[in-house]
């Protein structure tokens, strides 16, 4: 019997487009198992962060060359303790456990911003058997001397270096929407070797504490409304660039998944919905999708894919400026 929810992403055939994105829920083998049992078709692991790796390097350097760890000189130059394991080693071990324990594909995730250092991590992750790799370049362009081209070049160099290091690894790049010409930028990412883009990273916005005047880091989970920015760009990119697209940010229910699918997303990633409602949300969305396909006489989700992309939409100008004018015109006082 055909699987009506089948999805294809990064060369993988998935039983549905419902994929938990990188979050604390995908940071342990037991969490990942729970998501698999709840119906996830693949998982994206919590990221290995560049900051963690840099911290380890400093620690190792101290162990090996500076001995600044509180030991007196009489103890001599101590070897690195057997128990010391770098963040990368812990990550690879976790990946290994997930690969052994799960049947669904496991996509590893690297998260950082500097130009160097990614290639070796990617090689290790490929060797450990990941089914794909997601690069999350969470870069806030805060330097007024840095041009838009410099920022884009940073991303392109990172992707190129990883692609060169792991030529056969299915590779996705998670980006924010803050590019002057997102569609053109995605095209460039494809040219340097990205197989997929994950649209879009949410930049967390710090708040300000009035009395102390300190910045307060704030982690707010998403809402469905955030999906709309993604829908526009998925529709625009799907129509022009042959690249796999995952949506992340604001996928909470069946309607969200259907809309993303119509605009042309290959998979829908979820974090906030799973953290708020628990893994059971996956089965509820699955059931909702099947019901909708029946009611609207579609054979499968794949049949629906891209039907409202920029190329296929009845009125593609709705994704552009016309949408803005219509929206302004439609406003009426209460």
Residues that bind ligand FMN (CB under 6 A): 21-24, 46-47, 109, 111, 136, 174, 202, 219, 221-222, 248-251, 270-273
What is the nearest approach in angstroms of ligand FMN to the Cβ of residue 248? 4
Strand-pair partners of 12:
9
Strand-pair partners of 110:
48, 135
What is the nearest approach in angstroms of ligand FMN to the Cβ of residue 111? 5
Q: How many CA atoms lie within 13 A of 310 on its CB side?
A: 16
Query: CA–CA separation, 208 vs 246, rounded Å?
Result: 33
What is the nearest approach in angstroms of ligand FMN to the Cβ of residue 291? 22
What is the nearest approach in angstroms of ligand FMN to the Cβ of residue 26? 8
Separation in Å, CA 72 to CA 62, 64, 69, 173: 14, 15, 9, 47
Residues 6+ apart with CB under 8 A from 246: 9, 19, 172, 196, 197, 198, 199, 265, 266, 267, 268, 269
Nearer to ligand FMN, 111 or 161 (CB): 111
Nearer to ligand FMN, 241 or 277 (CB): 277
Nearer to ligand FMN, 180 or 276 (CB): 276
Nearer to ligand FMN, 54 or 300 (CB): 54
Buried b / exposed e along 295-320 (16+ C-beta atoms within 10 A): eeebeebbebbbebbbeebeebebbe
Nearer to ligand FMN, 248 or 309 (CB): 248
**Nearest Cα to 17, choosing from 239, 310, 242, 247?**
247
The answer to whether 52 and 27 have CB atoms below 8 angstroms apart is no
Residues 6+ apart with CB under 8 A from 75: none
What is the nearest approach in angstroms of ligand FMN to the Cβ of residue 202? 5
- DSSP for 225-240 reads GGHHHHHHHHHHHHTT
What is the nearest approach in angstroms of ligand FMN to the Cβ of residue 107? 11
Nearer to ligand FMN, 109 or 124 (CB): 109
What is the nearest approach in angstroms of ligand FMN to the Cβ of residue 245? 14
Nearer to ligand FMN, 124 or 248 (CB): 248
**Measured at the alpha carbon of residue 30, what is the angle toward residues 27 and 33, in degrees to the nearest 5?**
100
């Amino acid at each position: 019997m055909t699987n009506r929810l089948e999805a294809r992403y990064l060369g993988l055939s998935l039983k549905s487009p419902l994929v938990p994105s990188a979050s604390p829920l995908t940071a342990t083998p037991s969490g990942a198992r729970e998501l698999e049992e709840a119906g996830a078709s693949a998982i994206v692991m919590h990221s290995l962060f560049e900051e963690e790796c840099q911290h380890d390097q400093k620690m190792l350097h101290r162990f090996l060359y500076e001995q600044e760890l509180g030991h007196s000189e009489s103890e001599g130059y101590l070897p690195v303790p057997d128990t010391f394991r770098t963040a990368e080693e812990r990550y690879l071990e976790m990946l290994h456990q997930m690969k052994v324990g799960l049947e669904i594909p496991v996509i590893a995730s690297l998260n950082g911003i500097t130009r160097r250092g990614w290639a070796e991590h990617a090689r290790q992750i490929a060797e450990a058997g990941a089914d794909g790799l997601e690069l999350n370049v969470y870069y806030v362009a805060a330097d007024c001397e840095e041009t838009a081209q410099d920022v884009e070049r940073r991303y392109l160099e990172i992707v190129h270096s990883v692609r060169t290091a792991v030529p056969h690894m299915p590779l996705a790049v998670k980006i924010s929407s803050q590019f002057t010409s997102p569609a053109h930028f995605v095209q460039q990412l494809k040219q340097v070797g990205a197989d997929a883009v994950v649209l879009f990273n949410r930049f967390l916005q710090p708040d300000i504490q009035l009395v102390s005047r300190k910045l307060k880091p704030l982690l707010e989970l998403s809402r469905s409304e955030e999906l709309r920015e993604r829908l526009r760009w998925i529709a625009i990119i799907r129509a022009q660039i042959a690249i796999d697209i995952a949506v992340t940010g604001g996928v909470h229910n069946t309607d969200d998944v259907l809309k993303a699918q119509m605009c042309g997303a290959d998979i829908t990633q979820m974090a906030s919905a799973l953290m708020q409602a628990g893994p059971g949300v996956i089965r509820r969305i699955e059931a909702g999708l099947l019901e909708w396909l029946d009611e609207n006489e579609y054979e499968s989700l794949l049949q629906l894919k891209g039907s409202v992309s920029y190329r296929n939409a009845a009125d593609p100008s709705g994704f552009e400026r016309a949408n803005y004018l219509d929206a302004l015109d439609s406003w009426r006082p209460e």
